[in-house]
Structure 1
């Protein structure tokens, strides 16, 4: 058996009603200022007093005065209302201004091909928020998020790090990149083993692209031999266009 807690909620309108009566010394005047009927105001005060388990006001036919508890509660209640109203004003000002800075760690490929259009749309919606873009490798991006240097990151890696939440954005297949005049360009699919005849252009081992490839090919007897190794996919595309080799990306 669990003991039931006496959990009482006090509404701001009830506290505001008490403060207004204490300030004006009159139910009638307080009701007019609050734009409610006097019986409704009386019900609010009764509910507040019942919740507190004590009387806050002494009522007579001519005047209203505070009890000793009411006198102690009055400045605290007024301060509570002031703090609440200040908080609401601050939130509204922040919402209206929408100012600040967002720092994003992103792999260079996404930064070059996808992000510009996304950033443009974001700027249209939040024109006063500055964007700081860190184009880093997948591992460097993760480290930047962990160290608090970036608010979030975009890369090709997924993981189970306890301090980072990974949210999939898109799923894309790996494709073979080659020149239009290359003999493999007209093929709908190519087996990995067939690539052994060509010069392969790969990215560095710390790249998210390379890590995914290495993991996917781990169970195969054949491993790609990278004739060229670069740091970024954009570089490998340039080399493919120059006819230096082919690449998987």
Structure 2
């Protein structure tokens, strides 16, 4: 049964205890009955009873229990973001309407690719909280595809990612275009070059990210047009892992500028990559017409304003 069917058929007709929802969300996030019970100050048997009651009310299992861990069923995975939103909506509704309207309190939910979350999002949040100190933030740092999906599922107010410009279901506001640069050790033969062509990387051990990465998609498309394809020796899932392999002297990598050390690094050197010049565009994605809280709307406007006035890192 799909989650929208759960909403229509069950939530509208049955009385669901909010404490049962809190028990379910805590257990799903912790993947442990013991840790969840401690977090929400319940005994483990009481927590189990609450989840069993919720499952009985909905008529479907939400969690799979094994001797080692707790995992979500397919229905549980669909229901989790909706359960979170129900709890968030309740918490927001219980706040003072005037405080929310005046942006003195509220919640801003953002999905963001890790490089953006690390390098420039904190600066904007710091400026925002200086003006609105009571507003809370939830930040989902995830891959580009997951950020886009979180926006489409309305799990967050908006996302910061490098995908979505061609998606008809979202609005994409570009913020910054940045190049891919070569990362290598300072003692590497390419480290002191003024520039390096992609074709020259064929002679070196190349570290790339997996095909599920948005950065890999951008590179593959650009290099296919130029009929250039470096031979990858290592494939990793995260850009930070690429840097670790480069720092260890195991190979070279092509990374977006934002993923590289912000200043001079004692081990890693960066060199411009040419032929072709590959870039990625990072922007804000949102669902057009979706209702955002005043706090989220204010932060969104500040984010665009600071970036477009030269506030990028």
Bigger RCO (CA 8 Å, 6+ sep): 2
Give 2:155's aligned residue: 149
**Which of 199, 209, 213 is the aligned partner of 1:207?**
213
C-alpha distance 243-92 of structure 1, shift in aligned 2 (>3 A) = same
Q: Where do residues 35-184 of structure 1 align in structure 2 (5 Å cutoff)?
A: 93-184=99-190
- 1:107-143 deviation line (CA, Å, top 9, x unaligned): 1122222222222222212211111111111111100
Give 1:185's aligned residue: 191
C-alpha distance 221-207 of structure 1, shift in aligned 2 (>3 A) = same
Instruction: Say if 2:202 and 2:230, in contact at 8 Å, map to a contact too.
Output: yes
Q: How far has the Cα of 1:93 moved from its partner? A: 4.2
Instruction: Say if 2:210 and 2:236, in contact at 8 Å, map to a contact too.
Output: yes
Q: 1:117 and 1:109 mapped to 2: Cα distance?
A: 13
Paired residues, number: 160
The CA RMSD over aligned residues, in Å, is: 1.8
Give 2:60's aligned residue: none
**Which of 217, 225, 231 is the aligned partner of 1:225?**
231
Q: How far has the Cα of 1:173 moved from its partner? A: 1.2
Give 1:194's aligned residue: 200
Q: 1:227 and 1:134 mapped to 2: Cα distance?
A: 31
- 1:199-222 deviation line (CA, Å, top 9, x unaligned): 111111121211110111112333
List alignment gaps of at least 5 residues for structure 2: 1-95, 256-313
Residue 167 of structure 1: SS of its match in structure 2?
strand
Q: 1:190 and 1:105 mapped to 2: Cα distance?
A: 34
* Alignment TM-score, normalising by the size of structure 1: 0.60
Instruction: Say if 1:203 and 1:229, in contact at 8 Å, map to a contact too.
Output: yes
Q: Which runs of 4+ in 1 moved over 4 A?
A: 90-93
Q: 2:249 and 2:119 mapped to 1: Cα distance?
A: 22
Q: 1:138 and 1:112 mapped to 2: Cα distance?
A: 15
- Structure 1, 138-147 or 205-214: larger mean CA deviation: 205-214
Q: How far has the Cα of 1:159 moved from its partner? A: 2.4
Bigger Rg, which one: 1
Residue 168 of structure 2: SS of its match in structure 1?
coil
Give 2:254's aligned residue: 248
